[in-house]
Amino acid sequence: MPKYDENQAECLIYTFKDGLLSKVAHDLKIKVGRVSVDVQPNALRAEFDTRSLRVLTPMKDGQDNPSALDDGDKAKIAAQIVSDVLHSEQHPSAVFVSRALKPRADGGYDVEGDLTLHGVSKAISTSTKKQGDRQVASFDLHQPDFGITPFKAMMGTLKIKPDVTVVLSIPQL
């Protein structure tokens, strides 16, 4: 059965600003740089290297806004996420293991399983959609459910919402 790495699979994380100073902050599109997805009959296992995150671009009103941050700022933000939010030295990977992978008539799949992130395992349910030659799953993840304190600065007047959106895309099964 197929096994995909970051050359075929893509995992994006979208964060959303919050707080009194949110007008000066940025929503972010972040890419997980090292990914492994192993698909077996009726099963899926995915591993994500939490140390490999990089900020692709800031977002404004749901659209890429690449001129809002320079490469140095993006690198600094990614380093803060890796060390201060995800504590990647102690938790270098996130792992999803499915319990059920059921094809649907529309070409997508219903997926149920467990995600271990930041040392905490929680059940996750999502559905994939066929988009061109790819299967795409999108789900919201509530960071505190995994013991993660969302980023905040300036005494909490600038912060990231506790819910982030994760989008995983792999070649068509």
Spatial distance between the Cα atoms of 137 and 143, rounded to a whole number of angstroms? 18
- The CATH number linked to 130 is 2.40.128.110
Domain of 127, in residue numbers:
3-171
Q: How far is CA 96 from the centre of its chain?
A: 12
**Cα 160 versus chain centre, distance:** 14
Note the pLDDT tens digit of each residue in 13-67: 999 988 665 676 789 999 999 999 999 888 999 999 999 999 999 998 889 999 8
Q: How many domains does the chain have?
A: 1
Whole-angstrom Cα distance, residue 15 to residue 53?
Answer: 13
Token pair 């201060």 is found at 84
Ranges assigned E (strand) in the chain: 3-5, 10-15, 17-18, 27-32, 35-40, 43-49, 53-60, 63-64, 93-103, 109-117, 120-131, 134-142, 152-153, 158-160, 163-171
> In 3D, which of 30, 86, 85, 79 has the Cα closest to residue 59?
30
* Structure confidence by residue, pLDDT tens digits, 109-156: 999 999 999 999 999 999 999 999 999 999 999 999 999 998 877 655
Whole-prediction pTM? 0.93
